Amino acid sequence: MKHLGFNIGKVKIGSFDFTCCEGCQLQLANRESTLPDFLALIDVRNFREISSERFDDYDIALVEGSVTRSDEIERLKKIRAQAKVLVAFGSCACFGGVNSLKNGIPQEEAVREVYDGKTIETMPSTRIADIVSVDYCIPGCPVSKEEVERILVGMVTRSLVSLPKYPVCVECKQRLNICLFDLGQLCLGPVTRAGCDAVCPTGRTACLGCRGPAEDINFPSFEQLVRDKKLSSSEMREMLGFYNGFADYLEHEKS
Amino acid sequence: MEKPMIYKVISKPEFKSFIDTLVKSNTAYGPKAVDTDRLGNPVYQFMHVQGADEIAFDYTVTHSSAKHLLLPFRDELSHYSFRDGDWDQEVRYDAPPIVLIGLRPCDINAINILDDVMLHGPYPSPYYLARRKNTFIIGMDHLPLADCFCKSMNRHTVNHGFNLFCSDIGDRYYLAINSANAFSFLKEFRIEDPSYEDNCNLIERRKSIKNSFATTVEVTGLPVFLDIEFDSPIWQKWGDKCLSCGSCAMVCPTCYCYSVEERFDIDLKGSTRQNHLYSCNLVDFAQVAGGHNFRPRNGDRLKYRYYHHYRGFAANDNQQICVGCNRCGRACLADINPKDVINDLRLERESCMTCVLPSPDKT
Amino acid sequence: MHDMRFTIPGQDLNREPFAFKAPDFQKKCEVMITDRGYKCRITNIVPLSDNERLFLLRIVDPVEREMFNFRPGQFLMLEVPGYGEAPISISSSTSNHEFIELCIRRAGHVTSALFETRQGAMVSIRGPFGTSFPMELMEGKNVLMVVGGLGIAPMRAPLFWIGNHRDRYLDVRLLFGAKDPSQLLFDYQFEGWQRVSNVKMHTIVEHADESWKGRKGLITALFDEFTFDAKETYAIVCGPPVMFKFVCHHLDLMGIPMNRMFVSLERRMHCGMGKCCRCMVGSTFTCLDGPVFDYWSVLNLKEAI
């Protein structure tokens, strides 16, 4: 397409999974109403969930999942070397995700519990930014297809690609939801990055912070809130640790 | 400018059937119990209603204001359609008529303030005008809640900005009819001229409302005061509590600051310019191209919201835009509310004064 | 059941374009349309430096072209369809109806998109918005113009204005300071300004290699090069806040009354119409009461500097 005198063409993408449930990639094929338009934007070069054809000439790599095995490191580095733009796709890739829950217990114990004594090579769940440089993060568990569309359109047209900087509360209030704190629940909405349209609080489920912290959050005030409402601070830490998105804040607290 | 008003009374059952007819013939919004909080109190919101039975006429207060029906959280400003290097722009001011039922005097005053800002400033907003012209407002009075302070802001009564206003005088409503439409609708129902007793009851009702305010916020001289206290440490103290979550601005009936965003359509054949309601508490409110943030600290942003609400902006005749509904105070998780912040500022000021002024009895 | 007798009659605002009488301060513009942009063709793009370019825009519709009148110092909202809008100060002569010149630095996402466009691309403008330099007030007096870096963009309109009405002003002086010689934009016009418009020019840069023959230092150093009658002088200062703070302080010491110094403030406007509140400085809208303020007002604005 020609717009304003410069060419807008399809982008070549590759989609790759590491340690994850592949649910975020599945989102790419979701939302049928816009799927044909979405697929017209991209030239899928490597994506095992929708095509058996594989090429290695992609420009944008969507990387789902965290790294939990040493061979994954090599594979990730190869993808990084090929891709012009590397996107951490989903909470596992951005923060380590649910997989990071095992980081809190000895690795042998985790292996014994899950694989019943089989010999499995494993390492602590690591977000991909700790291994290679990441150009964009699209957090979420799973990612929101609408946001993925917006960001990919932004990449195709070279227009603004950004995530909201404010917390989920903004969107939750816009949906006229009752505040979960008023129901006596603990919710991470006030500190979690918006962009999900407050889907969990709207369904009366507490926000677990799958999109990680909003920009410049007031963490001490949030802890105070949990104390003031007489909610459990161990539950709060558990929730904050669920997707590992708040690791920096939790560590800070320990020290 | 006040228009002449017609006063009538209507029995409560007849009023309900009037509302029912109106609701069924139009797109209507009214207070609805949507939930129950952990203390067992019902939670109300202004929701789309399809019959008078759904409306909670004796509701206390809605968690969120009715602002979004006039200033939607997201609104399309214009749409571009692209064709080979050129484009067409389409701007539409679409607003199908709606009926808003059960607004409190403070809510109607809030809409009057929005009218001043959106329509009476240097550049009237056609988007707002279209919605405002097509909004039929039925107001209802109520006894204030313990934390309402609209009387302090002088927003507890209203004499314009509605089509019909109902005062509860026992078994009937005392109606102030402010539009030809409202009158011609009501003519089809049993309405009567108010009797002497009705008038007495109305006066009693107004008195009892006026005397029921438990919360007072001292706002005299506040504008000057806020100018003087601009660099007060109080702001950082409250800023340290503020979560910068924007809840206050979303539920506020007068917060209107917004952000404009443009997006390509997914088929790349066009783009949409949208405005969406923002809050001055949000972290990037005063960020400019290149990344510089003029208000990086929570305290600066919180101060700014109070500045806007209680000092007012020069372009809007320095009008205070707070109506005293305290929705922000109830929604705030960090327990920040106008009463406490303003009192704190005053205390701080007074303690300064006692330091500076020589005390008279020291001779 | 739906009863038509009780249906509220709707009013349709779409029938005519929404235009209204322009506010008083828009002296030269009688009618304004603020929601629909004027379609413009980018007729020329002049590279000024690595990151700054001069865009020449021509309003496509001849009627709109006649309608678009502005005063020196005003800004417009430039929209690159699909990419968004940004406030840009108008950098051309007010008497030039054929072209609008915009001197733009690549800073945010809108300007980056603009830098990708080619000659012939169609963009959209809304405006003009904001206050202007009071050129009439300065008549019969000296005018001292102090520019730091990209401050030359809003300064060109008053420069052209003075050039067109040179006999109305006494001494006109332009002090231009920049980071390095490449940032002295429009150097190809310096000679024209000096000879044709009779503007006395002084330049200075902070850093330069040996090829630079002029002065090195901060802009305030230029004040020792000339003398002037402070009581008969108006000053226009454009540049980054740090710079105009120092310059205005200096001018104050030299005796120019604060209400005779004019500065242009920059904030990120989203609407240009005093609605979105993004450009508030204290209790004042930069887009309505600014961008041009006298220095006395700026000092009294909260959080301006």
**B162 and B55 part of one domain:** yes
Q: Pick C127 or A72 by higher pLDDT.
A: A72
Q: Tell me the mean pLDDT in the region C45-63.
A: 92
Which residues are within 8 A (CB) of B144 and not within 5 positions of it... i.e. 6 or more apart?
B150, B151, B156, B209, B212, B213, B214
Boundaries of domain holding B197: 6-71+95-210
pLDDT at B1: 47
With contact defined as beta carbons under 8 Å apart, do B300 and B238 qualify? Answer: no
How far is Cα A135 from Cα A145, in angstroms, rounded to an integer?
A: 19
Mutate to test the interface with A, among C42, C44, C83 (most CBs of A within 10 A): C83
Indicate the number of domains in chain B: 2
Q: Which residues of A touch B301 (CB under 8 A)?
A: none
- Which B residues 181-240 touch C at CB under 8 Å? 181, 185, 188, 227, 230
In a domain, B90, yes or no: no
SS3 C178: strand
> Binning pLDDT at 50, 70 and 90, where does residue B362 land?
very low
Of the candidates B325, B4, B316, the one whose C-alpha atom is nearest the C-alpha of residue B160 is B4
DSSP B192: B
Asked if A5 lies within 8 A of C83 by C-beta distance, the reply is: no
pLDDT cut 70: percent of chain B above it: 94
> Binning pLDDT at 50, 70 and 90, where does residue C303 land?
low
pLDDT at B119: 87
In a domain, B312, yes or no: yes
pLDDT at B203: 94
How far is Cα C244 from Cα C230, in angstroms, rounded to an integer?
A: 18
Which homologous superfamily does the CATH classification assign to the domain defined by C20-129? Translation factors (2.40.30.10)
Asked if A166 lies within 8 A of B335 by C-beta distance, the reply is: no
> Binning pLDDT at 50, 70 and 90, where does residue C18 land?
low
Which residues are within 8 A (CB) of C278 and not within 5 positions of it... i.e. 6 or more apart?
B257, B259, B278, B285, B286, C267, C268, C269, C270, C271
B258 touches chain C (CB under 8 A): yes
B-C CB pairs within 8 A amount to 176
Asked if B245 lies within 8 A of A225 by C-beta distance, the reply is: no
Q: Tell me the mean pLDDT in the region A18-41.
A: 90
Chain A positions with Cβ closer than 8 Å to C: 3-6, 157-160
pLDDT digits 0-9 by tens, A200-245: 999 999 999 999 999 999 999 999 999 999 999 999 999 999 999 9
- C40 exposure class (CB count in 10 Å sphere: 0-12, 13-18, 19+): buried
Measured at the CA of B119, the angle between CA B64 and CA B74, to 5 degrees, comes to 40
Where among B210, B235, B270 does a domain terminate? B210
> Binning pLDDT at 50, 70 and 90, where does residue C4 land?
confident
Chains that touch C (3 or more CB pairs under 8 A): A, B
In a domain, B82, yes or no: no
Q: Determine which of A30-34, A112-116, B317-321 has the lowest per-residue pLDDT on average.
A: B317-321
DSSP C9: P
Asked if B288 lies within 8 A of C277 by C-beta distance, the reply is: no
pLDDT cut 90: percent of chain B above it: 49
Of all residues in chain A, the one with the smallest CA distance to C124 is A4
**B334 and B245 part of one domain:** yes
B84 touches chain C (CB under 8 A): no
pLDDT at C9: 77
The domain C142-300: what is its CATH number? Answer: 3.40.50.80
Q: Which residues of B touch C285 (CB under 8 A)?
A: 313-315
Residue with tokens 């929705």: B327
ipTM for the whole complex: 0.88
Q: Which two tokens stand for residue A215?
A: 């920009």
pLDDT digits 0-9 by tens, B25-41: 999 999 999 989 888 99
Q: Pick C10 or C234 by higher pLDDT.
A: C234
CA distance B118 to chain A (A): 21
Q: Tell me the mean pLDDT in the region C28-52.
A: 81
Measured at the CA of C216, the angle between CA C214 and CA C221, to 5 degrees, comes to 105
Arch. (CATH architecture) of A2-157: 3-Layer(aba) Sandwich (3.40)
pLDDT digits 0-9 by tens, A190-211: 999 999 999 999 999 999 999 9
pLDDT at A254: 56
Asked if C84 lies within 8 A of A6 by C-beta distance, the reply is: no
DSSP class per residue in A19-59: BS-SHHHHHHT--GGGHHHHHHHEEEEE-TTT-S-B-S--S
Mutate to test the interface with C, among A1, A2, A4 (most CBs of C within 10 A): A4
pLDDT at B17: 92
With contact defined as beta carbons under 8 Å apart, do B164 and B176 qualify? Answer: yes
Asked if A169 lies within 8 A of B298 by C-beta distance, the reply is: no
CA separation, residue A151 to residues A37, A194, B73 (Å)? 14, 15, 21
Of all residues in chain A, the one with the smallest CA distance to B36 is A183
Of the candidates C2, C272, C261, the one whose C-alpha atom is nearest the C-alpha of residue C145 is C261
Q: Tell whether the model's pLDDT for residue C14 goes beyond 90.
A: no
Q: Tell me the mean pLDDT in the region A88-116.
A: 89
Q: Pick C267 or B68 by higher pLDDT.
A: B68
Asked if B300 lies within 8 A of C271 by C-beta distance, the reply is: no
Where among B181, B210, B239 does a domain terminate? B210
Of A40, A176, A183, the CB nearest to B45: A176
**B130 and B242 part of one domain:** no
C122 touches chain A (CB under 8 A): yes
Q: Tell whether the model's pLDDT for residue A159 goes beyond 80.
A: yes
pLDDT digits 0-9 by tens, B224-259: 888 888 888 888 999 999 999 999 999 999 999 998
pLDDT digits 0-9 by tens, B195-222: 999 999 999 999 999 999 898 888 888 8
How far is Cα B62 from Cα B301, in angstroms, rounded to an integer?
A: 26
CA separation, residue A124 to residues A65, A137, A243, B302 (Å)? 13, 21, 14, 41
In a domain, B88, yes or no: no
SS3 B182: helix
Asked if C113 lies within 8 A of A5 by C-beta distance, the reply is: no
Tell me the domain boundaries of chain A. 2-157, 168-254
With contact defined as beta carbons under 8 Å apart, do C79 and C65 qualify? Answer: no
Q: Determine which of A2-16, A123-137, B334-348 has the lowest per-residue pLDDT on average.
A: A2-16
Mutate to test the interface with C, among B116, B123, B271, B273 (most CBs of C within 10 A): B123
Q: Which residues of C touch B186 (CB under 8 A)?
A: none
Q: Tell me the mean pLDDT in the region C41-50.
A: 92
Q: Tell me the mean pLDDT in the region C209-224.
A: 86
Asked if A5 lies within 8 A of C84 by C-beta distance, the reply is: no
**B146 and B11 part of one domain:** yes
In a domain, B130, yes or no: yes
Of C84, C109, C117, the CB nearest to A4: C117
Which residues are within 8 A (CB) of A233 and not within 5 positions of it... i.e. 6 or more apart?
A223, A226, A227
DSSP class per residue in chain A: -EETTEE---EEEEEEE-BS-SHHHHHHT--GGGHHHHHHHEEEEE-TTT-S-B-S--SEEEEESBB-SHHHHHHHHHHHHH-SEEEEESHHHHH--GGGGGGGS-HHHHHHHHHTT--------B-GGGTS--SEEE--SS--HHHHHHHHHHHHHT-------SBHHHHHHHTTPPPTTTTT----GGGBB--STTHHHHTT-----TT-BPTT--HHHHHHHHHHTT--HHHHHHHHHHSSTTHHHHHHHH-
pLDDT digits 0-9 by tens, B180-190: 888 989 988 99
> Binning pLDDT at 50, 70 and 90, where does residue B288 land?
confident
Asked if B244 lies within 8 A of A179 by C-beta distance, the reply is: no
Of all residues in chain B, the one with the smallest CA distance to C284 is B314
With contact defined as beta carbons under 8 Å apart, do B95 and B130 qualify? Answer: yes
CA separation, residue C124 to residues B75, C16, C76, C84, C85 (Å)? 20, 20, 10, 10, 9
pLDDT at A253: 60
C115 touches chain A (CB under 8 A): no
Asked if B63 lies within 8 A of A178 by C-beta distance, the reply is: yes
Asked if B264 lies within 8 A of C82 by C-beta distance, the reply is: yes
**B239 and B168 part of one domain:** no
pLDDT cut 90: percent of chain C above it: 25
Q: Which residues of A touch C83 (CB under 8 A)?
A: 157, 159-160
Asked if A166 lies within 8 A of B63 by C-beta distance, the reply is: no
pLDDT at B43: 92
Residues of chain C within CATH 2.40.30.10 domain(s) are 20-129
**B194 and B127 part of one domain:** yes
With contact defined as beta carbons under 8 Å apart, do C153 and C89 qualify? Answer: yes
> Binning pLDDT at 50, 70 and 90, where does residue C39 land?
very high
**B133 and B227 part of one domain:** no
